[in-house]
Amino acid sequence: MRFAGSHVLSVEQFSREDIEQIFKVADSMEPYALRKRVTRVLEGAILGNMFFEPSTRTRVSFGCAFNLLGGEVRETTGFKSSAIAKGESLYDTARVLSGYSDVICMRHPEAGSVAEFASASRVPVVNGGDGANEHPSQALLDLYTIQKEVKAKGGSMDRLRIAMIGDLKHGRTVHSLSRLLALYECLDVVLVSPGELAMPESYVENLRSAGHRVTVSSELNQSISQVDIVYSTRIQEERFSSKEEADLYRGRFRLNQAIYTKYCQPNTVIMHPLPRDSRSDANELDNDLNQNPNLAIFRQADNGVLVRMALFAMILDVVDQVDSHSRDVNWYHRRANE
């Protein structure tokens, strides 16, 4: 099967067909993620969840996805105490750790490190984020959410209109997402940021050369008035030289229910890669949006589990066995997707 034994390192590796296949598998994971059914298809398999940079929710989301398929998770978090800090090469780390599990998810603060690790690994590696570079499962879950939300409203991916808002310079999320969006047709993309935090030209060019219409703006209200999706992002404070410099931009593009009502079309979907900064000086997406049914940010997080389950099932080549290893859930479960 496509992806059996493959690394997942970059969105660049996916064709539109690949993505549609991944999303079809993700759809089929829903009964398990919603705890209507349990599958034990990966019982006995081990995920090495290697986080050399902290990220609670990404780590737990990957671990949970593997558990939901019946597998076990061995983890590490942090960097200082690791062998890498004692001068071990990524090559050695990969050769050793890949003897301990069936698949590895790795996050690391340095761009390119995960690909270097993967080249020495004896098992498939999923990039869980390598510095400013890539975080492919996040881009996939964003795209999966976009597709699900617009489909639910009768729309389609082709001809999609989307505004991306915030720190478009540092946000690897919007970079990777723009790469995937370029695979579709006739999109209308509005890029909203302060001039200094604009989307790097290569991503803009990639979209334009694929035939999409790209508008660049530093003004929020009009930019969100003709779109299907508003994708808001956090100021990446950790990428600035000082907190003070980041503060110059914090809270620049606040969206709340009043602005939404005044400027957006009634069905516009609001997304955010999370965490959203809810401190009063930031307030990217105001809490008064929490009751708005078009706020998709938590469905987005839930979709992350489905997409990661799909990736694991495809990499380990068990897609066709998931259902045959399943049964009904025998414990209390009330959770709906929202």
Active-site residue flag, 107: yes
As measured in angstroms, the least distance from the Cβ of 42 to its own copies is 6
Nearer to its own copies, 48 or 136 (CB): 48
Nearer to its own copies, 42 or 190 (CB): 42
Any contact of residue 72 with its own copies (CB under 8 A)?
yes
User: Is residue 23 within 8 Å of residue 147, measured between CB atoms?
Assistant: yes
- From candidates 8, 21, 25, 98, binder to its own copies by CB under 8 A: 98
Active-site residue flag, 172: no
How many angstroms separate the most distant Cα atoms in the chain? 57
User: Is residue 84 within 8 Å of residue 50, measured between CB atoms?
Assistant: no
User: How many CB atoms are closer than 10 A to CB 138?
Assistant: 24
- From candidates 17, 248, 298, 323, binder to its own copies by CB under 8 A: 298
- From candidates 70, 136, 155, 273, binder to its own copies by CB under 8 A: 70
The catalytic position among 39, 58, 145, 233 is: 58
Q: Kindly give, in sequence order, each residue whose CB lies less than 8 Å from that of residue 66, ignoring residues fewer than 6 positions away.
A: 42, 45, 47, 49, 72, 73, 308, 312
Nearer to its own copies, 130 or 302 (CB): 302
List b or e across 76-88, with b for residues whose CB sees 16 or more CB atoms inside 10 angstroms: eeeeeeeebeeee
Q: Tell me whether strands 161-165 and 46-51 are parallel, antiparallel or unpaired.
A: unpaired
CA distances from 141 to 18, 91, 315 (A): 14, 30, 17
Any contact of residue 86 with its own copies (CB under 8 A)?
yes
Any contact of residue 317 with its own copies (CB under 8 A)?
yes
Look at residues 220, 231, 244, 248 and name the one whose alpha carbon lies nearest to residue 294. Answer: 231
Residues 7-66 contacting its own copies, CB under 8 A: 33, 35, 38-46, 48, 54-57, 59-61, 63-64
Any contact of residue 136 with its own copies (CB under 8 A)?
no
User: How many CB atoms are closer than 10 A to CB 5?
Assistant: 12
Active-site residue flag, 234: no
Nearer to its own copies, 120 or 210 (CB): 120
As measured in angstroms, the least distance from the Cβ of 90 to its own copies is 9
As measured in angstroms, the least distance from the Cβ of 150 to its own copies is 21
Q: Which two tokens stand for residue 69?
A: 């398929």
Any contact of residue 163 with its own copies (CB under 8 A)?
no
Active-site residue flag, 108: no
Size of the site for its own copies (CB under 8 A): 80
Residues 186-225 contacting its own copies, CB under 8 A: none
Element (H, E) at 98: none
Look at residues 12, 3, 62 and name the one whose alpha carbon lies nearest to residue 308. Answer: 62
Nearer to its own copies, 133 or 303 (CB): 303
Any contact of residue 101 with its own copies (CB under 8 A)?
yes
User: Is residue 204 within 8 Å of residue 216, measured between CB atoms?
Assistant: yes
Listed in sequence order, the DSSP H helices in 183-296 are 201-209, 220-223, 243-247, 257-263
- From candidates 13, 15, 89, 222, binder to its own copies by CB under 8 A: 89
Residues marked active site are found at: 57-58, 86, 107, 135
